């Protein structure tokens, strides 16, 4: 689907403990205050079928899947999320804000686990075709800080957090490389500061890039 009447698709990306869920809630409230209808969603998940796949990905032992199988599962969940949630919302004219999207697969399964970019691009094409986010906000912070924050709210979803710190360093570098390759679509925001400061930086970026 390439037709977007008035809605926009904004994705928030970053490593563990970057504060994405807090910032998604803030961005949603701010966009609603500017008169937009907003659908806030997340990946993996964001629709009943995709939430079922999420459980397979974020729970259980680290060695459960290899990088390629993970990429396949993330793209299966993504296809279902797009079809059931994202595309219908954009069609209604909603602004859709998603906590993670395909850049997470390139950063985690690509840079983190070594899955080739060629495979990522093929899977992207199958699952989403020419569809792309209008804006991607990458929340950047040192992995030590992020992992400490994530551990403080640890539930059963520990599969990725249990990976070694070097894996998380590659993920962070991966997100920064994505932003460098696609500066028109991506903006990097320092996520070490106060919640209000980060929320303002995100709102400013949305205003500047999308005229919200």
Contacts of 87 (CB under 8 A, 6+ apart): 1, 131
Q: Least distance (Å) from ligand TMP to the CB of residue 16?
A: 6
Nearest by Cα to 144 from 172, 121, 118, 123: 172
Residues that bind ligand TMP (CB under 6 A): 16, 42-44, 58, 74, 100, 104-105, 108-109, 160
Q: Least distance (Å) from ligand TMP to the CB of residue 167?
A: 10
Query: Is the Cβ of residue 9 or residue 160 nearer to ligand TMP in the bound state?
Result: 160
Q: Least distance (Å) from ligand TMP to the CB of residue 34?
A: 26
Both tokens of 101, joined, read 């999207």
Query: Is the Cβ of residue 36 or residue 79 nearer to ligand TMP in the bound state?
Result: 79
Contacts of 44 (CB under 8 A, 6+ apart): 50, 53, 54, 57, 58, 73, 74, 77, 78, 81, 100
Q: How far is CA 21 from the centre of its chain?
A: 10
Query: Is the Cβ of residue 7 or residue 146 nearer to ligand TMP in the bound state?
Result: 146
Q: Least distance (Å) from ligand TMP to the CB of residue 105?
A: 4
Burial of 133 (0-12, 13-18, 19+ CB in 10 A): buried
Query: Is the Cβ of residue 41 or residue 212 nearer to ligand TMP in the bound state?
Result: 41
């Amino acid at each position: 689907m390439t037709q977007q009447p008035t809605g926009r698709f904004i994705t928030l990306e970053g490593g563990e403990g970057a504060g994405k869920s807090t910032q998604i809630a803030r961005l949603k409230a701010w966009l609603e205050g500017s008169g937009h209808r907003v659908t806030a969603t997340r990946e993996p998940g964001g629709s009943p079928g995709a939430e079922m796949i999420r459980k397979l990905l974020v729970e259980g032992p680290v060695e459960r899947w290899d990088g390629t199988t993970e990429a396949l599962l993330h793209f299966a969940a993504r296809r279902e999320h797009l079809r059931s949630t994202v595309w219908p919302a954009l069609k209604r004219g909603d602004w859709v804000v998603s906590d993670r999207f395909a850049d997470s697969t390139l950063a985690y399964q690509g840079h983190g686990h070594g899955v080739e970019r060629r495979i990522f691009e093929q899977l992207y094409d199958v699952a989403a075709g020419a569809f792309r986010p209008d804006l991607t906000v990458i929340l950047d912070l040192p992995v030590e800080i992020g992992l400490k924050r994530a551990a403080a709210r640890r539930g059963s979803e520990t599969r990725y957090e249990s990976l070694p710190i070097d894996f998380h360093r590659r993920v962070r570098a991966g997100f920064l490389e994505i932003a460098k390759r696609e500066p028109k679509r991506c903006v990097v925001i320092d996520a070490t500061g106060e919640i209000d400061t980060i929320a303002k930086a995100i709102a400013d970026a949305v205003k500047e890039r999308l005229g919200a």
